[in-house]
Structure 1
């Protein structure tokens, strides 16, 4: 990804409204004008990514920010479902977790995630990661 700030559409999968608001604020403060689409659980995220149900006209995301601990379908199950999906295999995926221990385990067990960050997000870490 040459310039993250030039992304048109970002999917943020986050069930905590405060974390979602903070993430969007950080992106705006960094000068990113991307449209941030927010889904609040794993099932809704998969519908968005697969363009089904109410999301049949959803844009193709150019970046996925995925909370690891979600209601219904978890981040782990989303990663498993997306693995090998040709339409989404080149979309960078960053996993977010409030637990540093969960991030360490995730990095070992799920190398298909492009990166991982601990919440609350630090703007410098986000820029460095992307």
Structure 2
């Protein structure tokens, strides 16, 4: 895990499918890494969370973002583009987690500087394995930048 003075990393999950949220929460619980998972259901709410607006005034700046592409109100690529154009937010790693296997979505996401692109497996067990691998890599192996608010 990155050097954080013992604090657990904050992960922002931007996902509108309650079934996928449940599987991701289950995968996080099964792991041994202390993580705080914050969930928002659409792109507008994700941006509000990141800018600490509205109901998210006291939200922490996440260490990593898991971002679905197919979201209501503002899609994942629009959220990613907004993040990458903000000097304060562009440092946050963004991992696309989507059901889309379209090559154009992969290319566009990387062109918008996504840090990784994961396709959601249909099989629930494989889905959980994918999330656990995400946790092992991004929350155990990778050194994340230490946020100024810590």
Q: Same fold (TM over 0.5)?
A: yes
> Under a length normalisation based on structure 2, what TM-score does the superposition of the two structures give?
0.75
Partner residue, 1:45: 46
Uncovered stretches (5+) of structure 2, i.e. residues with no partner? 122-126, 139-150
Distance 1:125 1:33 in 2: 15
2:82 is aligned with 1:74: no
> What pairs with 1:27-42 in structure 2 (closer than 5 Å)?
27-42=28-43
Q: How many residues align?
A: 126
**Structure exhibiting the larger radius of gyration computed from Cα positions:** 2
Match for residue 119 of structure 2?
A: 118
Shift in alpha-carbon separation, 1:7–1:93, aligned structure 2, 3 A: farther
Contact kept, 8 Å, 1:115 with 1:129, in 2: the verdict is: no
RMSD after superposition: 2.0
Relative to the length of structure 1, the TM-score reads 0.85
Deviations 1:16-62 (A, max 9, x none): 01101111211222212211000001111100011111111111100
SS at match of 1:100: coil
Answer with 54-63 or 120-129: which moved more: 120-129
Q: Which runs of 5+ in 1 are unaligned?
A: none
